[in-house]
Chains A and B, each alone.
Chain A
Amino acid sequence: MSKVEQYGREAAPARDREVEEELYARRQKIYPREVHGLFAGLRVTAVALLLGIFYGLPWITWSGRQAVLLDLPARKFYIFGLTLWPQDFLLLAFLLIIAALSLFFFTALAGRLWCGYACPQTVWTEIFLWMERLIEGDRQKQIKLDKAPRSFRKFRIKATKHTVWLIFSAFTGFTFVSYFTPARELAVRLAEFNLGPWETFWMIFYGFATYGNAGWMREQVCLYMCPYARFQSAMFDDDTLIVSYDEKRGEPRGPRRPSIDHRARGLGDCINCTLCVQVCPTGIDIRDGLQYQCISCSACIDACNDVMDKMGYPRGLIRYTTQNALQGKSTRVIRPRIIIYGLILLLFAGMFSWLLATRVPLQLDVIRDRNQLYRETGDMIENVYTLKILNMDNHPHEYRLFVNGEGIEHMRLITDRNPIRVSAGAVLDVPVRVRAGEEYLKHRSSRIRFRVSDVTNPDLQATEKARFLGPLP
């Protein structure tokens, strides 16, 4: 079935009124029922791992410094042993391209894996649902509580829930800011009520975003805010892994006792218990076919498998499958789409690795002295420059400075100190004078090249072009 048909199926006239009501009606709150099983277990593992990384990383130290610190005030990103400067912008851009391409690749291969297991929205919603369940009880109790008239008990439970949510969100906001200001320092200043205005602002901003998105907005973020949800179908084809209901096996659906032979009575395997709908975090019915609201969290698979076990039917009435497999055709994993996405991904990953491996933590800038074009000292012509040496490494280095007049013989570089020491992560301005004999100058302006190289490791070097000016020859 093509994508158009999948979505077109929803446009049946009987549905129109339903869709219209859905668009105009106030949003119905969704109460996802708790689910256990293989995929729920996988998701809990992913949630624990990802949140563990997010909340734990700022507290890890790496050679005397916070392991991951995006030190915006100092314009340096520390990522374990690596220090990135604004000059390394290209690396960051490549990293973002690689992330986007990986998303394309895995979407083509296995559908919305990202949405179901790794998206921050899913991860935080999961933990907020867990807190809600601890305080308000299971799905039935939550629905009952919301329907109940105002009472002290209702107020107490709701107030407790929001307090716990807000405390957790505040901690999340703190953690977010601690990626930019060292966590330990931030904790001390927070305890002393001595935070900067912008740190406070971003802590509250991120905290409220967490509280709003994971506590209130939930599936609406996926439906209305997520660009990926809108265009992911472009990466889908009939060989993409999707969560799907086996219509041929399930229909006609209907209730029955486990003991009867339902086939003989003309019934399919679906007992219409609606558990798949109750567990769905986006509130859809998977039995209506593939829908863009489905985030492939596979909660319905776990719920349905449980029911199939209880009924004594084989598992997998709702399962991970492909459109081709559902139609009895074979599924191809290796196909042009996968190969093309894979190759582009490999290309960018290769370029990124090459950039990172050949990255020289040293940069040289040359600024000409603006006051004087040139100076004559005897039969020599002299130009004055300032060399900006940028040591982007984590250790101090001794550098030697050279000049190479391209085609100009006996050009000399004069400076107070050579070699010169530049401490770790520092920029040093070095005034230099360059002299050449007037008889060697063929043009009024000649191209020269400055070079700075490490004393112990001459391969660590940087060069920069400049202009050498003289009188008319």
Chain B
Amino acid sequence: MDLFLQQLSNGMVIGSTYAVVAVGFALAFTVLRVIQFAHPDVFMIGMFSGMMAAGFVPGGGLAVALIGGAVGSTAIGAVIERTVVAPLRGRDVLTTLIATLGVSVILQNGMAAVVGPDPIPYPRLLPSRFYEIGPLVLTLRQMFCLGLCAVLLALASFYVRGTHIGRATRAIAERPDVAAAFGVNVGQVCRITFWLASTMAGLAAVAVGTLYGSASAFVGLLYGLKAFVCMLVAGNRYFEAVIVVAFALGILEALVTGYVSSSLRDAVAFFVLIGVLYLRPDGLFGSYAT
């Protein structure tokens, strides 16, 4: 029972990080109709820019790293939006998919050329301390990661459900033409949404770097695949569905690691994907009719 609870909480921590990346993916896909394959690399850039910021400002610590992560990822997200996504908006999904895949390759290998292909140690932005909460043992880094991601997800949900521009993102997701004809500047809303997704990714990336104590130019690869799976499994009808699926995936992976084998962990996502797409091609929670 203790192992179960422990793996459950570990899974929630991992799941929360998947959720932040997956939400960014899902926003880009439902609002902009773009499969933003470079999104996980925006996350990676945030991880490194946070690390650099923490290095530049002595004693700055976590707060500076978070700001650095957010600035770095938002900047690179804005550049991608301006140079690749906006000019291709309205084109075939495959066109932007290939274009963003190209950006992804450039970012990964560009970063690898600078920092090397192997993981490098991440600065210790939080002390290695752990807390016993009943039968659970959680590290401070895990708690920070889970807490930060939960706040980001809550804010993203509030953006989509509770704000004026957020309502427009849902309107665009369901009927882009009608939204435009009712006064929504679609290009502008897409831009803001893209920036926000990038900012979220950069903030979460600093927490993930701190959690694992390492950063790699290729960290986005696995994150990207899993976030992509979460989006497909969830379907795009309800924004929050992808969050639920991401948490479920994190927990499932942790349970498989705990009870079966850690080498099977990364395959779980794909078993789930195949199973769900076989039974419910529109995703577990349904998608907008196209």
Asked if A and B are interacting partners, one says no
Which A residues have a C-beta under 8 Å from some C-beta of B? none
Which B residues have a C-beta under 8 Å from some C-beta of A? none
